[in-house]
Structure 1
Amino acid sequence: MSKKILIVFVALILIFNCLPVFAWTPTEGLTSSSVVLMDTVRGQILFEKNAYAHLSPSVMCKLMTALVTIEKTDLNAKVTISKNAASFKGLNLVVGNQYTVEDLLYAVMLSQGNDAAVALAEYVGDGDIQKFVRYMNTKAKELSLKDTYFVNPTGLYEKDQYTSAKDIAVLVKAAISNNTFNLMFGARGFGWLNGNNSSILTNQNTLFWSYKGVDGGKIGTNTNPQSISAVTTATLNEKRLIAVVFNTNEENAFSETAKLFDYGFSKFYTGVLVPKNIPQRSIEVDNVKVDLVSKIDVYYTYPVGDSFINNISFTPNEKLKLPLNTETIAGVLKYTLNDNTVIEVNLYSDKTVSAPEDYISKIKNIVTENRDLVIIVGILAIIELVLIAKNLLKFIFKAKKTRTQK
């Protein structure tokens, strides 16, 4: 290869490396009617489409049924199947047979399991399904799910029952902090024994086997309107994301979930917003300078190449007085991100700060801190005073005697 050709070849490589790379973005060819991509650190929404639209809650009902059951009962408890529960489609549960709560939870999480959901609702609700539904709605309020209302535990169509993609993501973010829920949500399969018949329940979310890093998932089938809801979590480089997708086609729901994960993992970082033990602000308390630090590393998710911070404000604690310890909140650092996420960071004094002392206080402190030594010195001083007094009396007596003799 001649020198000129080599130079041209190298130049072309440099030119092409400098050209912008046009990667897929979520808005290109997206067929899903409602979508949310959320990080699990603090629930930042990385991408959304119709996130607050009211939708059929099939998958949401099953997820909430599982979470409420886990929080309210023992996994090893035995549930006797009622005629009502057995009448629902699912795993063909047999009237009068007993199953553990754990077995029925796996049935709910890995399959449609309407019969299992009703059986759990009856058990936890003491035979009253509506009591269980009230538990579901109470939990929804606790998690601030403003676009969700439950009427039944199965997700079968009811005109007054609804949810949103955003609320599903919020629920999953909260629920995966429960180890039992997280374990079941991440299960690919479970051994199922129904009377004398045994089988393997397999998770219906096929992304477990087609997308690297998937560690949680469930799908739901909605009838009004007809759609598939896919809920999936995936972790890459210690960053876990949640994707919720509603689509009329199951294959499209999974493929677009994968594209959302590609986008989230390649275009966003999760890093430290405020490092612990590094001074963030300084304030004066009773004319003494105090450095303030965070006690923990505070993380957030941001787009590659962008701080993503819209505003920073600081509010000091106006009631501070010396002495000041390291457990008192001395101020709050407030970050507002470009997606309107608000992160408040409590700041504390980096060390204990004592109040300025006068001379009397210093003497008192010295005496208190060196009590034994002060006692010894005091005793020696008294002995010395006695000796001085004794010698003084001798001198006076001797002087009087001398005067008398004269």
Structure 2
Amino acid sequence: MRQYLLIFMLSISVLILPFFHANAVVAQADDSLAPEAISGAAAILIDGTSGDPLFAKNPHERLYPASITKIATGIYAIENGNLADVVTVSKRARNEEGTRVYLAEGERVTLEKLVYGLLMNSGNDAATAIAEHLAGSVEQFSERLNEYLREKTGVEQTHFTNAHGLHDPAHYTTAADMAMITQYALKNPIFRKIVATKTYPWEGKEWQTVLVNHNKMLWRYEGTTGVKNGFTDQARNTLVVSAKRGDTELIAVTMKAQSSEMAYQDVTKMLDYSFSRYETQRVATAGETFTAEAVDRYGRPLQYYAEHDLYVAAPRGETYRKTLTADGQLLIRFSGGTEYLRPLKAKQLPPIQQLRADQQVPAASKQQVAKYAIFVIWLALNAFLVFYLYARRSRKRQLLRKRYDHSSVDRRF
């Protein structure tokens, strides 16, 4: 009986062992996110607060953005226009190709409503109406937009020729640049509110409906806060998504995915991967001062301070140490080996007043002079003491001699 029971147990073990092994392999494979797991030709995920990149695949490859261009158009319109302005729709705007909010020629619409139509329903006609209102023409708007993006976000591989993202060989960007543009845009509360809006009533001259945000992640993914999807035949599927959990907000970008569903899978994988491994942490508060080992010309230690609060994408469960580099940057080193550098500003110490600027003496020389001065004073005091004792003794001898002379005279008489 025991033999049969042993044979049975061994048989069960042989049958179920592969399943445990398979699960172990899957768990190990999911421990990291390989670029091959992302279908887009280029992708990136950054910490929305610090800007630290947490995953990247060809992040600096120039690609066509399609309608994620409208992220840039939207934030430009919010920051450079008056949302209460009434815009008159032109013939060119009315006849734009692709996705529209069906504006009529001559229709008068507020700039705010156009931005909702732009970012929620991806209206190409709204994009052109915005561009013409703010700059007089799409071409002039594009020039201003490019200059604005370079100045505000620091992008270097982006050049837009229109406000909507319809194909143009000279209209391009990168995944890394789109993440930077989105990070900047999300600092604006109006932009943030619009891209997080799920539905919006639209009462137009030719179209009355309720706009439903094209970004499906607002319904699919917990904590999604925005932002925009896009498609053209040349760009294929592009998608930018922001999501927040606790104090950590992430921004994911995928470009040139072969299907809309693949694009959504890309950003989901990147967000899941990073939320489970990183959290935003503040490593310095505004005004916090750090003292260097180096000294200035007067022998005073150099000091640096944080101009504003400093954040990093911290690996979960790890501790960190802060040190100051020789060039005045804050180095944050985590126990697992991850390192970040954060810029600091040099603190201006109060000047030391002197009689003449051309007679400034280095601090080390001043210390030597002080030592010599003390020595000279000590030597003078000793010389004075010796002289005083010698003079006192001489005077005493003279007094004794006088007394002796007087006593000698008295004895003779």
Please confirm whether the aligned pair reaches a TM-score higher than 0.5, indicating the same fold: yes
- Identity percentage of aligned residues: 24
The equivalent of 1:26 in structure 2 is 33
Gaps in structure 2 of 5+ consecutive residues: 1-20, 354-413
Shift in CA distance, 272/112, structure 1 to aligned 2, threshold 3 Å: closer
- Contact persistence 2:45–2:56 (CA under 8 A): yes
The equivalent of 1:302 in structure 2 is 314
CA displacement at 1:249 relative to structure 2: 1.0
**Is 1:333 matched with 2:329?**
yes
Q: Which residue identity is paired with 1:346?
A: K
The equivalent of 1:400 in structure 2 is none
Q: Runs of 4 or more off by more than 4 Å in structure 1?
A: 275-297, 305-312, 336-341, 352-356
Gaps in structure 1 of 5+ consecutive residues: 1-15, 316-331, 357-406
The one of 216, 236, 253 aligned to 1:244: 253
The equivalent of 2:163 in structure 1 is 153
Q: Which residue identity is paired with 1:132?
A: F
The equivalent of 2:85 in structure 1 is 77
State which structure, 1 or 2, has the greater radius of gyration over its C-alpha atoms: 2
Cα offsets for 1:314-356 (capped at 9, x unmatched): 44xxxxxxxxxxxxxxxx334387888641123659xx99989
The equivalent of 1:211 in structure 2 is 221
CA displacement at 1:30 relative to structure 2: 2.3
**Is 1:93 matched with 2:103?**
yes
- Contact persistence 2:292–2:324 (CA under 8 A): no
Distance across 2 between alignment mates of 1:55 and 1:257: 18
The equivalent of 1:66 in structure 2 is 74
Cα offsets for 1:179-231 (capped at 9, x unmatched): 22122122222111112742111111111111100011210112214x11111
Secondary structure of the structure 2 residue equivalent to 1:162? coil
Distance across 1 between alignment mates of 2:307 and 2:142: 41
The equivalent of 1:52 in structure 2 is 60
Secondary structure of the structure 1 residue equivalent to 2:128? helix
Q: TM-score, normalised by structure 1?
A: 0.70
CA displacement at 1:73 relative to structure 2: 1.3
Superposition pairs for residues 96-115 of structure 1, below 5 Å?
96-115=106-125
**Is 1:118 matched with 2:108?**
no
Q: Which residue identity is paired with 2:119?
A: M
Q: Which residue identity is paired with 1:54?
A: R
**Is 1:232 matched with 2:241?**
yes
Superposition pairs for residues 5-404 of structure 1, below 5 Å?
22=28, 23-27=30-34, 29-89=37-97, 90-126=100-136, 128-142=137-151, 143-195=153-205, 197-225=207-235, 227-246=236-255, 247-274=257-284, 277=288, 281=292, 286=298, 294=306, 297-304=309-316, 312-315=324-327, 332-335=328-331, 342-346=341-345
Distance across 2 between alignment mates of 1:119 and 1:339: 47
CA displacement at 1:57 relative to structure 2: 2.0
Question: What is the aligned-residue RMSD (CA, Å)?
Answer: 3.3
Distance across 2 between alignment mates of 1:69 and 1:287: 52
The equivalent of 1:402 in structure 2 is none
Distance across 1 between alignment mates of 2:321 and 2:350: 32
Q: TM-score, normalised by structure 2?
A: 0.69
